[in-house]
Amino acid sequence: MYVLAKLLKALHSDAGPWSLAFGIMFGMIFGLTPVLAFHNLIVLFFVLFFRVNLSTFLLSWGLFSLCALLIDPLMNDVGEALLIHQQLQAMWTSFYNTAIGRISQFYNTLIIGSLAVTLLLSPFVLFLSKVLVVKYRSYFMAWVEQWNIVQVLKGSRIYQAYQRFGG
C-alpha cells in the first residue's frame, strides 16, 4: 500500500515523465527475468545511478514478477530456441568459454529467453509508459483536481501541514 501511495505521489509530483517511464521499464526487466541473474545487477546500477523513480520501479517490479509466473514457460521456450539455433552455436560456445559468459548465466534457457523478450519489449514499454504518464497528468489529474472534496481537503490545515513537513 505504501508503494502505491508513493506511485500516486510521483504521478502528481514534478518528477519528469521520462523518470517514471524508465522506472517502469527497468522494473519490467527486473521483474520478468530471474532476480539472481548478473544482468539484474547492471539494471539495479542504472536504477540507482540515474534519476529513475524508485516508486515506479518497485511497483512495476512487483507487477511484472506476477506476470512472469504466467509467461515463464514461453520465455523458457524462447531461450531454448536461441540456445539450440544452429547458426548461434559457435557464438554461445565461445561466449561460455569466457569468464563473463559463465557469470552471465546465458546458458540458462530461462535467463536468456526472458532477457531477450524484455530487451525487445523495453522500447515499447518505455514510450508507452511515458505517453500514459503524460496523458494521466493532462486529463485524469486535472479532472480529479476539479472535484469539490479535493479542493476542500487541499484547503485544510492538515494537508497544508503535510505539504510543509512531509509532502
Is residue 150 in some structural domain? no
pTM of this structure: 0.81
Is residue 116 in some structural domain? yes
**115: pLDDT strictly greater than 80:** yes
How does the average pLDDT of the chain come out, rounded?
Answer: 85
Is residue 126 in some structural domain? yes
Name every residue whose Cβ is closer than 8 Å to that of residue 60 and which is 6 or more positions away in sequence.
Answer: 23, 24, 25, 26, 27, 28, 31
Is residue 91 in some structural domain? yes
Residues of the domain holding 19: 2-138
Is residue 145 in some structural domain? no
Is residue 80 in some structural domain? yes
Q: How many CB atoms lie within 10 A of CB 156?
A: 10
| pLDDT score of 157 | 67
Is residue 42 in some structural domain? yes
pLDDT class of 118 with cuts at 50, 70, 90: very high
How many independent structural domains does the chain possess? 1
| Amino acid sitting at position 143 | W
Torsion of CA 144, 2, 127, 61, to 10 degrees: -150
For 107, the grid coordinates are 546458458
Name every residue whose Cβ is closer than 8 Å to that of residue 139 and which is 6 or more positions away in sequence.
Answer: none
Name every residue whose Cβ is closer than 8 Å to that of residue 105 and which is 6 or more positions away in sequence.
Answer: 37, 38, 111
Is residue 71 in some structural domain? yes
**166: pLDDT strictly greater than 80:** no
Read off the pLDDT of residues 75-99 as tens digits, 9 standing for 90 and up.
999 999 999 999 999 999 999 999 9
Instruction: Identify the residue with better confidence: 49 or 136.
Output: 49
